[in-house]
Structure formats: C-alpha cells, structure tokens
Amino acid sequence: MAYEGLGRLDRRVFIARMTALGVASAVAERVWAEAAARGPVTPAVLAEAAKLARVDLSEDERALMVAGVEEVGTRIEQLRSVPLANALAPALRFSPLLPGMTVPSKHRGLKFSRVEAVTRPTDLEQLAFAPIPLLAELLRTRQVRSIELTEMYLDRLRRFDPLLGCVVTLCERRALEQARRADDAIAAGRYRGPLHGIPWGAKDLLSVKGYPTTWGAAPFARQVIDEDATVVRRLDEAGAVLVAKLTLGELATGDLWFGGQTCNPWDPREGSSGSSAGPAAAVAAGLVGFAIGSETRGSILSPCTRCGATGLRPTFGLVSRHGAMALAWSMDKLGPICRAVEDCALVLAAVAGPDGRDETVLDVPFAWDATRDVRALRVGYLRSAFDRDPDAVDPERWVHDRSTLEAVRELGVELVPVELPDLPVDALSLILHAEAAAAFDELSRGSGDDRLMRQDANGWPTRLRVGRTVSAVDYLQANRVRRLAMQEMARLLHGLDAYLSPTLGGNNLLLTNLTGHPAVVLPNGFRRNGTPTSVTFIGNLFHDAEAMLLAKAYQDATGFHLRRPPRFA
C-alpha cells in the first residue's frame, strides 16, 4: 500500500488501512504511535539517510521516495510485532560448498593411535593434564573410576576458579549422577568408547536442561533453556560427564563477562582472550578433560593461542549448532578444545553429523586415521605471512613461526608457497555485524543492552546499532563477494590437503571463517615470559582429518602441548 506519509494521514485513516491489510488494530495503533514519535519521513530526512547509505539522490528523487519509505517503515514495524527467538534461523542457508564440489561419502571407520599399557598414579591429581586416550584406558581397565575423576576435576574447578574466573555454573549434581552411571555401565561390560566417563566443560552458550544458559551477558544471567543442545546430548550418549558450564565473553566476544574477566593460566594478570575464554583456560589449567567452544571470527583460535590449548574449528556444516546461541547464522561453528590433536579427533567423532535440527549440517563421515603417513600429504604455507619483517610483528612469535616451517619440513613434508586472494576481506565483516544485529534485534531496540558490560565504541550495544545500518542490498552484495572468496580459496587449495598460517594477523582468520574451512590451532613455542604462541593448520572443506593429521605429526614431534602452567601443575 502506498500512502502519502504519516504527516499527511489522519490516525483513523491509517488504522483503517492497516486493518484492511490484516494487521491487528492493536499493532496498527502501536505502529502509529511509534512512527508519530519519530516524526514523518521527509525529503530532508532522506537526504541524511542517503549519506549513511553512500548514495546520491536528487531533490526530486527524494520527494518521490517518501511514500515508499514510509511504507517500508510500516512493514518493518509489522515484522517487529512477531516474537523471534534467537534460535530461529533465517530462511536463507549458507553452504561452504561450491557447485561441482564433492565431499567424502564412505564411512571408513576410525583409526586412533594405539595406547600403551598405563598404570594408575599414586596421586590421582597427576591425571589432571592427561590426554583423553590415557584417561580412557584407565577407565576402560577399571583402574580409575569416573566418579574419582569427576570429583578431582570438580575440586580443581573450585580451587582455581577464583584465580581464573572461568566457571559460570558447576554442574555437580548432574556430573556425579552421570559419573556413577558411567562406572556402573563399565562394570557391567557396557563400555561406550573413549569418552565414556571423561569429565568435560561446555561453553555457556550451549543449553543444558535444568541449568542457566547465560551467554556471558547480564540480561540473560537467569535464562534457562529447557533442552540439551545437540552436542551436549551426543556427549551424554558417548558417556562423557559434564562438570561445568564455562565462561564466554558477553554475547560471544572477548573474555569479559558479567562476572568479570577470565584469565590466562600462563599469566593470570592478562585475559584469556575469547570468546571461548573459559573452555580454553580450563583445559590449559587442567580443570576439565576437554571442552566444547564455538567460533564465529576467532573464538576458538584466539583463546587457544593465548592459553596454549589445542583447538579445532570444524568445517562449517559438520557439527550441529542446535541449542547454541546464534551470533551469525552463516558463520557460527562449534568445536572441541583439548590438550592434544587426537583428543579433538575423539570428540569430533562423537559430536559430528546431522541431527535434523540444524539444516546446515551435512552427513559427511569423519575419516580419522592416525596411522596414515603424513608424508603423503600435499601442504602449502602462506609465504608472505611467514616472511613478514619480524620487527613489524611479535619478534618471538616470528621466530616460532619460522621454526614451525622447518619442523614440518623435517617430517618429510614438502611445503608449497601460496597466497590468499586479493579481496577486501575486512569489509566482509559487515556480514557478521548485520547477522548479529538481527540475532539480538530485540535486545538492541529495548533497554536490555544497557546492562551489558562494554558501553564503548567496540562494545556490543554500539556494534548492534551500527549493524542495523547495513542495508539488505549491501548485505547481499557482501555475500556475493564472499562467493568470490570461496571460489578463490577453492583454487588456492586445489591439489593441497592443508596449508599453514600464523594464527593471528592478516586476513586468514576472518577469510577462512567466512568460507567455512576447518582449522587446527596448537602451541608452537613459548616467549621468554612463559606465555605461549601458536600456529594454525587450515584444511579443505570436510577434510578436517588431513589438517588434523598434519597438526598431530607436528605436535608429536615438538611436544609444546605437554607443558603445564606452573601455578596449576
């Protein structure tokens, strides 16, 4: 319906027209009141709006637009009258696959490394930093009970959380019940596999029935979502024991949450980075056997770098996000944070695959084979990123990155230089901003964002308001450039199984989050002050196993992941 603008309409006429269009009279009344409070749309208002949109409009063009813009505003108000849960995804679905791409289809089974005979230590707390295969063998052989491990990790969480600030909620009652059931099942010969009885922690954007799911933000501190997220349910089915819901920076950014800041176990004077702040800190400090984090633009890779943990950001569409907070539907990914690469493989094998709830997830087998010869892999490296002037970056990190290349070559792997596509990758961040603004539209339009911690230019209240200024046209144009980036990345990885990149700096982190490629991050050295640095291995879409195999070979050869933060060892 075209009309001449609210400034020229009688309220009764407006209400009648809206009612004729099927809009409830109460909603129409509210639309009128809100629009009237803002004042009418005029050519002068459109002139200012045109500046934001970066378009040129003549006076005649602006005059012709008034009625149409008023109509759009009315439609927007109608849409806002419909309650939309954060979990409700748009009717547009992102796939990282380009036309003609194929994915693995054969289920070849899983081949994990052989575990040598292990013996229970005198002091059970010596197992706090043990990798999953070792813990699993002790549980399988009944040398250690799950209830013992669970109580040990719960005790460490209580003792060390005051220093780290990594726990939102201890799930003690649930954990002890699960541990007892795990022990009973193992005793009865019903061993479920390598995660059976292993205590773990969930980033607190994953819903767990009966417990708060706070999203790290004060407006949601009392929120209870009455269902288990798919990854929680699948880990339950694998026999794992959830001991705690761990911190995330508010609304999945940074390491500041409504309870304070989560700290780095290697130097508690600094933050753990984020937004998977609690999972990375808890794993690195030996407070859980493993954790589940999430990434949209570095929320697994960044805290793992700061805390010296090993993390996997799986291919977009490999792990269901059902029951997880949505920040950007076309970019969000869930993945394991562990002590070693093969731990990540064990967890991914348990949680990957479609669930009928997250429509982006494909039925692609995870073909992990720890016995495969790494020398058969075809590997690239980002030459310009590794060749940067050391004075332009962290000099110690530069030395570690160069040493990483040499260590990989010593494995018998030939490294091929590659370069990222020449596209305005930073500009594509408006995709994230627009989707986040939609995900938290109601929070932003109301007063709820006043309760968020950061109220500066980079805090969510400001970011969400800025995200609202991204037009639908520009959002779609950005996604067209994103498609070009996907095509260029397909060319870059053609003939390669993986490539290496410094974890932070440059466009690799944002680019590969937009294209959906998997990434493995792990420590590659320590600075003189004792804090870790990291390197990242990027894989082909749905070929996570190849990047992980290369990362495991490097990790086994170097052993940086075996170091422990002194205060927690």
Buried b (16+ CB within 10 A) or exposed e, 503-540: bbebbbbbbbbbbbbbbbbbbbbbbeeebbbbbbbbbb
Residue 28 token pair:
């129409």
Among 298, 314, 311, 333, CA closest to 540: 314
Residue listed under structure tokens 């770098």? 305
| Amino acid at site 366 | F
The number of residues in the chain equals 569
Residue 496 to residue 490: CA distance in whole angstroms: 10
Q: CA separation (Å) from 466 to 413, 455, 460?
A: 46, 13, 10
Q: Is 30 exposed, middle or buried, given 0-12, 13-18 or 19+ CB atoms closer than 10 A?
A: middle
Q: Following DSSP, what letter does each residue of 332-382 receive, concatenated?
A: -EEEEEESSHHHHHHHHHHHBB--SS-TT--------BTTS-GGG--EEEE
Distance CA 107, CA 324 (A): 27
| Residue from 76, 544, 529 nearest 266 by CA | 529
Beta bridge partners of 312: 520
Residues 299 and 332: their CA atoms lie apart, in Å, by 10
Residue 552 amino acid letter: K
Give the residue numbers annotated as catalytic, written as ranges. 203, 275, 299
**Cβ-Cβ contacts under 8 Å for 360 (sequence gap 6 or more):** 93, 94, 95, 316, 317, 321
- Of 377, 447, 384, residue with least CA distance to 414: 377
Contact status, residue 137 vs residue 115, Cβ threshold 8 Å: yes
The secondary structure of 96-142 as a DSSP string is SPPTT----------BPPPPPP----SSGGGGTT--HHHHHHHHHTT
